[in-house]
Chain A
Amino acid sequence: MRRHLFLFGLFFLLVFFLSLSHGAVPVDLFHPDELSRRILLEVRLPRVLLAALSGASLSLAGLYFQYVMQNPLADSFTTGASASAALGAVLALLFFGETWVLPSALFLAFLGLVAVLRIASLRGRLLPVTMLLAGIVVNTFASASISLLKFLAQESVASLVFWLMGGFQNATYLRCAGLAAILFGACFYGLYRAPALDLTAFDDETARASGVPLYRLRRELLFLGALLTAVTVSFSGIIGFVGLIVPHLLRLAGFLRAEMLLPLSLLFGASFLVLADLLSRVLLSQGQELPVGVLTSALGGLFFLYLLVKRRRELYELV
C-alpha cells in the first residue's frame, strides 16, 4: 500500500512541477526575474493548485456517488449535482455578477440534491436505481434551464459557453484554501468510514447485518459529493469525466478497498487535472488556451474506452 501511495505521490509531484515550469510564458523557476516571479506566484501557482484540488475533489465526489448508487455510471453528472450547480453559477453570472457564483451554485446544487433524495427515499431507505434516475432527471432539467438562459441572453452566450467548458483562470489562494478545507473534511470522513464503504459493495442486507447504517451513510456521502461538486463547479466550470474515470481506472488497476481507493483517487485525480490544464495552456501558440473540460473529456474518454475494451470481461462481467 505504501509503495503505491509513494509512486502515485511521486507522479503527482512530477506533474505538478512540470505544470509550474511550463505555460504561455517561459519562466525560470530557480532564477526568476520580477515578471516571472509575479507570473509564477500570482497566476500560475494558484492555478495549478486549484487544478490539483479540483481534480481531487471531483474524483472523490465521483467515488462517493458510486458508493451511494452502487452503479458504475454514477458521477456528478448522473446525479445532477454538476448541472444544478452550473445552473446556479450561470444564473449568478447573468444577473448578479461573479461574486454570487459560489453561493448560487451551492444553493442550486443542494436544491437538486434534496429533489433526488425526496424522490429516491422510501420508508427510510434510499433506492439506488431510483436515485440514479432522479439524478438524470435533475441533470436534464438543469441542462435545459441552462440552454434556455443561453437562448434568452444570446449576446452573452459565448462567455457562458466558454465558462461552462471549464478552466482555472480565476484561481486564488483563498479559493484553494476553501476547497482544500472541504476536501480534507470529506476525505477524513471517507477514511473514517472506509470499512463501511467496503461493506456497501455487497448487497444492502449484508451491509445492514454487518451494522452499517446504510441510509445515513448514503445521505452523508451524497451531501459530501454534492458539496465537493458545487464548490468545484463554481470555481472552475463544468469539468467532465474526471469523477467517472478516475475511480474506475483505479479499480481496473486492482485497487478495490476504500482505504486505498480514497487516497489514490485524490492523487490520481489531482495529477490528471493538473496534466489536462497544462496541456490546455501549452497546446496552442501565442498564449491561446483550450477549455480544460474539452481536454478532460477527450483524453479521459479515449483512455477509459481503451481500458474498458481490454479488461471488461474480468472486471464488470465475470467478477
Chain B
Amino acid sequence: MKKSLFWLLLGMLFFWGISAQAARIVVLYPAASSVLRALGVSEKEVVGATRHDSTWPRAVKVGSHLRPNFELIRALRPDLVIVGSRRAFPDQAVRRLGVPVFRYDPRTLSGLLEEILALGRVLHKEDQARDLVSELRERLRRLKPIYPPVTVIYEVSAFPLRVAGSRSIVSDLLRVAGGRNLIRIPKKHVLISPEEVLALSPEVYIYQVGPMNRNPLPPKKRPYFRGLRSRVLRVRELRFARPGLNIFEAAERLNAYFYTLRYHPEALTAPGDSLQ
C-alpha cells in the first residue's frame, strides 16, 4: 500500500513537473507570439518578452531578440524560453541560459505549420495546435492557382539595395501565393546590383516598409530604377516578412493580387499598388 502510494505521488509530481514546464514562458522571438496567442497561451503564462513585442503587455521586458538580458530572464525562473535562429541566439547562449529552449525558426510556410505542432506538444496544447494547423492548411488550399507564376523580386532594404534570397520565408510565401522569386541565390538576404534587377525585369517589384526599410523612396523615384518596367507593390514588413500567423493572411492577399494581375490586369489601374 505504502509502495503504491509512493509511486502515485511520484507520478503526480512528474506530471505536475511537465505541466509546470510551460507555465512560465519567455518569448525572445516576437513572430512566435501570434502562434502562442492562437494556441491559447494566456498573458499570465508569458512572464517575459522582448521590448518590441506588444502582444504581452504584462510581461517583463527582457531586452531585444538580439541582445536579451540573461539576468532578467533567469530571475523570471522560466520553464520555457522561445528563441529564434541560431544566428540570433546561438547554441552557446542556449547552454549559458540553462533553461529549456524552443527554437522557432521556420523558413517555409509548411515548416511554420510543423513548428506550430511542435509548440503545441511542448505546451501541452496538442489539440489546439492540430485545429489551428488544419484551419491554416484549409486557408492555403483555398488559394487560387496561377499559371504561369508571377515573377517577383522582393526588396528587403533600399539603402543599400537588398532583396530576399531563396532561403527567406518570403520566397516560400511568394511561391505559395502564386509567384516566383527571381532571386535564386541560397541566402536569406542578398546585397544586389540594381542592374541585375533591371535585367531580370520581374512582373512585380515588391518593396517592404518597416524597421528594415525605413522611409524608402518609391522604387520608380530612385535614380537607378527609372527604367524599371515592373508593377510596384508596397507591403508592410511586419505583416509580410515575419514568420507568424500574419504570413497566411499575407499569402491570401498576395494571391488575390497576383490573380488579378494575371487574369484581370485591367482592374489594376493605379500606377503603384499597396497591400497594408
Q: Contact residues of A with B, CB < 8 Å? A: 23-25, 35, 38-39, 42-44, 46-47, 93-94, 96-98, 151, 153-159, 162-163, 167, 169-172, 281, 286-291
Contact = CB atoms under 8 A, between A and B. Distances in A.
Interface residues of B, number: 40
Nearest to B222: A170
A154 B28 CA distance: 14
B196 A286 contact: yes
A26 to B, nearest CB: 9
B215 A23 contact: no
Interface stretch (B96-104, B153-161, B250-258): B153-161
Contacts of A35: 198-199, 201, 227
Interface in B65-106: 65-67
A172 B159 CA distance: 14
A93 B214 contact: yes
Nearest 8 A-B pairs (CB), nearest first? A287-B196, A155-B211, A97-B215, A38-B227, A24-B193, A172-B223, A159-B157, A24-B195
Nearest to A237: B160
Nearest to B217: A98
Interface of B: 52, 64-67, 157-162, 183-185, 189-201, 210-217, 222-224, 226-227
19 contacts: A35-B198, A35-B201, A39-B195, A42-B227, A94-B214, A97-B215, A98-B158, A98-B216, A151-B67, A153-B211, A155-B211, A155-B212, A158-B189, A162-B162, A170-B224, A281-B193, A286-B185, A286-B196, A291-B160
Given A24-B196, A291-B191, A42 B223 contact: yes
A162 B197 CA distance: 19
Q: Tell me which of B52, B66, B161, B191 has the highest count of chain A C-beta atoms within 10 A of its own C-beta.
A: B191
A15 B127 CA distance: 66
Contacts of A154: 64-67
A38 B227 CA distance: 6
Q: Tell me which of A172, A281, A289 has the highest count of chain B C-beta atoms within 10 A of its own C-beta.
A: A289
Contacts of B66: 154, 157
Contacts of A281: 193
Given A154-B66, A286-B184, A38 B198 contact: yes
Contacts, number: 113
A63 B249 CA distance: 57
Nearest to B30: A155
Given A154-B67, A286-B185, A159 B213 contact: yes
B195 A44 contact: yes
A151 B200 CA distance: 36
Given A24-B192, A24-B199, A98-B159, 7 more contacts: A43-B194, A96-B215, A154-B66, A162-B191, A169-B161, A288-B191, A289-B191
Contact of B195 (A23, A158, A159, A162): A23
B137 to A, nearest CB: 30
Contacts of B226: 38, 42
A43 B194 CA distance: 7
A43 B89 CA distance: 39
A272 to B, nearest CB: 21
Contacts of B64: 154
Contacts of A96: 215
A287 B193 contact: yes
B160 A163 contact: yes
Nearest to A153: B211
B268 to A, nearest CB: 24
A43 B224 contact: yes
A153 B64 CA distance: 10
